[in-house]
Amino acid sequence: MRMDITDFYDTFFEEAEELLADMERHLLELDVDEPDTEQLNAIFRAAHSIKGGAGTFGFDILQKTTHLFENLLDHTRKGELTLRRDIVDTFLETKDMLSDQLDAYRNGDEPDQEAFERICRTLQQIALEEIGQDLDGGAAAPPKPAAAPKEPEPESREADGEAGEGDQLVVALLNVGEKDRQLLVEELAQLGDVVAQGGDESRYEVTLASSVSGDDIEAVMCFIIDADQIQIRSVGNDQAAQTEELAEAVKSADAPQPKPADEPAKTAAGKAAVDQKAASASAAAKPKTKPKAKSGGESTSIRVSVDKVDQIINLVGELIITQSMLDQTVSEMDVGSDGALLNGMSLLQRNARDLQEAVMSIRMIPMDFVFSRFPRVVRETAGKLGKEIELVTEGESTELDKSLTERIIDPLTHLVRNSLDHGIEPPDVREAAGKPRTGKLILSAKHQGGNIIIEVIDDGAGLNRDRLLSKARENGLPVSDAMSDDEVWQLIFAPGFSTAKEVTDVSGRGVGMDVVKRNIQGMGGHVQIMSRPGEGTTIRIVLPLTLAILDGMSIKVGSEMFILPLSAVLESLQPAKADLYAMAGDDVVLKVRDEYLPVVAVHDALDVPDAKTELTETIAVIVQGEGRRYALLVDDLVGQQQVVVKNLETNYRKVPGVSAATILGDGSVALILDITGLHRLSRAKKERRRPERGSHSLEVLSDKALSDNALETSS
Amino acid sequence: MNTSNDAALAAAEAHNREFLVFSLGDEEYAVDILKVQEIRGYENVTRIANAPDFIKGVTNLRGVIVPIVDLRIKFHLDKVEYGGQTVVIVVNVEDRVVGIVVDGVSDVMTLAPDQIKPAPEFGVTLSSDFLSGLGSLEDRMLVIVDIDKLLTSDEMELVERVAE
């Protein structure tokens, strides 16, 4: 059996991505003046591990880039390279480049050669300028400045040859099952010649003649088994150093048996081997610290594909539906005093709900996933704009559905950039206004009911009402001075709207804010803005926690059942004749308190037969969609229930006025209404009807309405 | 438009194929049995507003929302009734699940390649593009429907085109 190495690609990509994220976090936290050795080591290790994997999978460019980077980092952690802010910036740039390369490989492309050469030059330049060294030392071996320089020429070449080809490593696999072991041995055979192998499941040793360093081998095998299942030592190595390193786990019985044949090579190769040892000292630090962290972390989390999770969620959804079906059947049965059955049913209901909640929580990931990328954004944007900004994040542990966290990143980045650019003033201006020079940007997340609230708060100048209004007039938007602050603030979401005096490369082109709003609405959320002149602006995003289940209100029109998203429902009432007004032909508005709301008759928009057409007999549900309110006319309110959202597009297509479907307790399908879509639909219908007026009851109404200005109904 | 027929014939030549035979009115049609997922009764279909009349709506197939198409309406048959005999053939086409309403399912038949004749150019309601051929079986004639092409065609309005 031969397993294709490409099967491990995905694992590598995922791990590399995490390593890069770690790297970035450490780089950002790094104190330039007094770098923490642990952090430098962590950054180095990340680069090193990626290099190892890249080498194995033949990702040349990635390997070369990480190699240069790693060498530079090596000098840094040894204190030979003094860090500066611009060097850290270069490191961050390199990290971005690595991400790009990784993406390219993941998509089966070759990375951008030009960018690769540029970053290599930059790294080389730093090395030359700062430490006067070329980085292109050995391509595979770690730099060895002290590598046997005193040895006579011929011998040293021989030593190199020995170290390159003749060096033997004993790789011990601990507690590895037979299937994995076969794979690993095959994997090892790719890296060098397998000289000997043997042992049992608890400890299986493979002696390998290879030029690959021990930690590279470890890096490769870590994609299949865990780091603490591998022990690597080179044969003919200094025993003392070895026992120190490995003794904790390995009994001396297993100590290497130096073969006589190795002796001659030992003196020559020993030096190189020791050198390698020094390199793996970094790896030694890893096995020492990692097992502790890992043994804790391993049992608490596993990596599972989203597909599997979604499958479970779907199945649980089915279970819930089956349970409600059963419930309905039982309630219709004459069970009378059959307490056991009723008890069982209520227990089943509770368990099913608990199960559903537990399963849904699998998809939830903390907002830290989103927030953790903002230190970088803020640092760079602030640098470009010459502003001093402190970023505070709150509520990082607040959880949100994974699909939503991924989709919120772009809009949120845009809002943050916007706040930095337009919100927070330059340091001098702030000082003049009596505020601290350093601006403050707060990113916060919290749960409220079934929603998550994400806020971007700045302590900048706030929005300028007059400027927004005058700009809106310039753009030809319908505005008046009487508009409420809230309405004025919403203007910034109008397409092509920008109040920036000059366009910077950060923001101000007027594209974007409307996209932000659309994206958030696409996720079933909305945006609110609060602003006070001189004190700052708060932009609040309200999102549902998940798109997979929905709190719905079931309504009946004719004999058909529909679901309205409960979050959109404000109130419901029986419309009184006096509150209904006909407008401009066949439009009808409903007066609710001081507001006139457009009336959307569901039966009309969706052609439902046998629905109530007498307006005063229907029920008006006041709903909100995309910031506007409508009065939906329905026949009956049935009740509230949580429904599992099912996509209509999977097997069919998008239906106007309908956002999705769900399955009711009786097993039938009900459509979930899309409020704004419904309104559009009903308008389009009226539009189409206009040329051939006269057939519909509303037509009659409006004629009558003209005479007495109050709405009479007829059917 | 003979190329598709030729291709279908070429594929059929390899070996005999099995077809599910169903009836629409007095006519007999056949679909490749490998496309058929299951056969079930016609019940509990939720109407979709503003859809063409031959799209009866959607139904719940063990948690999956499946559109139901009535081929009798699509093919302009005179008599469209829903009764105990009315069945829905659930087919898999291009990763989609679609139910088609027919008057009845009769049997499964094996046709040798030489029993399948190319479909002649005809049909205003049923373009020969959507046919794999005509199966002849003693005195019976089966219209072999290329269900993939038919259900994903623009005129069925089941699939949203990217251009939209």
The pLDDT confidence band at residue A564, using thresholds 50, 70 and 90, is: very high
Can you tell me which residue has the tokens 């009807």? A689
B123: which residues sit within 8 A by CB, 6+ positions away? Answer: none
Label residue B69 by pLDDT band (50, 70, 90).
very high
Closest CA relative to residue A399, chosen from A371, A377, A441, A376: A371
Q: How do residues A501-545 score in pLDDT, each as one tens digit?
A: 554 555 544 456 778 888 888 787 888 888 888 888 999 998 887
Q: Which residues of B touch A560 (CB under 8 A)?
A: 46-47
Which residues are CB-contacts of A306 (< 8 A; sequence separation ≥ 6)? A363, A402
Do residues A625 and A568 touch, judged by C-beta distance below 8 A? Answer: yes
Mean pLDDT of A341-361: 86
Nearest CB neighbour to A651, from listed B57, B66, B157: B66
Is residue B58 over pLDDT 90?
Answer: yes
What's the pLDDT tens digit per position in A485-497?
A: 888 888 888 776 7
Q: Is pLDDT of A563 > 90?
A: yes
Instruction: Report pLDDT for B48.
Output: 92
Short-list B21, B35, B148, CA closest to B87: B21
For chain A, state the CA radius of gyration: 34
Q: Give residues with Cβ within 8 angstroms of A608, minimum separation 6.
A: A557, A558, A560, A602, B49
Contacts of B153 in chain A (CB under 8 A): none
The mean pLDDT of chain A is 75
CB contact under 8 A, A661 and B65: yes
Please give the average per-residue pLDDT across B51-60, as a whole number.
91
For testing contact with chain B, the best of A324, A652, A655, A682 (most B CBs within 10 A): A652
| pLDDT over 90 percentage in chain A | 7
Q: Which of B59, B64, B158 has its CB closest to that of A653?
A: B158
Q: Do B158 and A606 touch (CB under 8 A)?
A: no
Predicted confidence at residue A227, as pLDDT, reads 64
Contact between A660 and A647 under an 8 Å Cβ cutoff? The reply is yes
Query: Which two structure tokens, joined as six digits, stand for B106?
Result: 């009769």
Residue A501: the pLDDT is 53
Of chain B, the end-to-end C-alpha distance in Å amounts to 27
Q: What is the pLDDT of residues A630-680, one digit of tens each?
A: 899 999 999 888 788 888 888 888 888 898 898 887 778 999 998 888 888
Instruction: Check A655 against B47: CB less than 8 A apart.
Output: no
Closest CA relative to residue A500, chosen from A418, A381, A614: A418
Q: Give the CA radius of gyration of chain B.
A: 16
Q: Is B64 on the interface with A (CB under 8 A)?
A: yes
* Model pTM score: 0.54
Query: Smallest Cβ distance to B65: which of A321, A607, A669?
Result: A669
- Say what the pLDDT of residue B34 is: 92
Residue of B nearest to A608 (CA): B49
Asked whether the beta carbons of residue B64 and residue A651 sit closer than 8 angstroms, the reply is yes
- For residue A668, the chain B residues in CB contact (below 8 A) are 44, 46, 59-60
Rounded CA gap, A65 and A431, in Å?
44
The better pLDDT of the pair A688, A680 is held by A680
Comparing A163 with A410, the larger pLDDT belongs to A410
Strand order in the sheet with A636-644: A636-644, A549-557, A560-565, A669-673, A658-663
Cα-Cα-Cα-Cα dihedral sign, residues A618, A619, A625, A627 = positive
CB contacts < 8 A, A to B, total 72
Compare CB distances from B46 to A314, A605, A669 and report the shortest one's residue.
A669
Cβ–Cβ under 8 Å, residues A70 and A47: yes
- Rounded to an integer, the average pLDDT of A49-76 is 82
Q: Chain B partners of A321 at a C-beta cutoff of 8 Å? A: 63
Q: Shortest CB distance from B97 goes to which of A606, A651, A663?
A: A651
How much is the pLDDT for A221? 67
Q: What is the mean pLDDT of residues A443-460?
A: 87
What is the Cα–Cα distance from A678 to A688, expressed in whole angstroms? 15
The sign of the dihedral angle between the CA atoms of A38, A43, A46, A47 is negative
Each domain of chain B, given as residue ranges in start order, spans 3-156
Backbone angles phi and psi of B155, in degrees to 5: -70, -15
Q: Per the CB < 8 Å rule, is B44 touching A667? A: yes
pLDDT at A5 (0 to 100): 61
- Which two structure tokens, joined as six digits, stand for A207? 């002696």
CB contact under 8 Å between B50 and A671, yes or no, is no
| Cα–Cα distance measured from residue A458 to residue A536, given in angstroms and rounded to the nearest whole number | 5
Q: Which band of pLDDT confidence, cut at 50, 70 and 90, is reported for residue A561?
A: very high
Q: Where residue A388 falls among pLDDT bands split at 50, 70, 90?
A: confident
> Tell me: the pLDDT tens digits for A4-59?
666 677 778 888 888 888 888 888 887 777 778 888 888 888 888 888 888 777 78
Q: Pick the closest to residue B136 from B111, B155, B153 (CA basis).
A: B111
| CATH number attached to the domain at B3-156 | 2.40.50.180
Residue A210 has pLDDT above 80, yes or no: no
Of A17-21, A583-587, B66-70, B123-127, highest mean pLDDT: B66-70
Q: Which residue's structure tokens are 């980092």?
A: A73
How many angstroms separate the CA of residue A670 from the nearest CA in chain B? 7
Q: Which residue has the tokens 């032909």?
A: A585
Number of residues that make up chain A:
715
B41 contact A CB<8A:
no
Q: What is the pLDDT of residues A230-258, one digit of tens each?
A: 777 766 544 444 444 444 444 444 444 44
Q: Which of B50, B96, B157 sits opposite A651 (nearest CB)?
A: B96
What residues form DSSP beta bridges with B41? B87
Please tell me which of the candidates B59, B63, B67 has its beta carbon nearest to residue A314.
B63
CA distance B16 to chain A (A): 30
B9-15 long-range contacts, CB within 8 A, separation 24+: B9/B113, B9/B116, B9/B118, B9/B133, B12/B111, B12/B113, B12/B116, B12/B132, B12/B133, B13/B113, B14/B113, B15/B113
- For residues A36 and A2, is the Cβ–Cβ distance under 8 A? no
Q: Which residues of A touch B (CB under 8 A)?
A: 314, 317-318, 321, 560, 605-608, 646-658, 661, 663, 667-671, 681
Are the beta carbons of B60 and A605 separated by less than 8 Å?
no
Q: Phi, psi (5° rounding) for residue B149?
A: -65, -40
Question: Where is pLDDT greater, at A262 or B81?
Answer: B81
Task: Count other Cβ atoms within 10 Å, centred on residue B164.
Answer: 6
What number is the average pLDDT over the span A144-160? 41
- Nearest C-alpha in A relative to B50: A606
> What phi, psi does A601 have (nearest 5°)?
-85, 115
Residue B87 contacts by C-beta under 8 Å, 6 or more apart in sequence?
Answer: B22, B39, B40, B41, B42, B101, B102, B104, B105
Q: Do A668 and B64 touch (CB under 8 A)?
A: no
Give the pLDDT mean for A300-329.
Answer: 80
Contacts of B68 in chain A (CB under 8 A): none
Q: What is the ipTM of this complex?
A: 0.84
Distance (Å, whole) CA A625 – CA A646 = 21
For residue A156, pLDDT beyond 60? no
Structure tokens given for A142: 């770690």
Q: Whose CA is closest to A35, among A70, A90, A87?
A: A87
Average pLDDT over residues B16-20: 89
**What is residue B31's predicted lDDT score, i.e. its pLDDT?**
93
Searching chain B, which residue's CA lies closest to the CA of residue A315? B63
Residue-wise pLDDT for A96-136, tens only, equals: 888 888 888 888 778 888 888 888 888 888 888 777 766 65
Instruction: Tell me which residue of A586, A663, A573, A576 sits closest to A623, measured CA to CA.
Output: A573
Measure CB to CB from residue A318 to each of B57, B63, B157 and give the nearest one.
B63
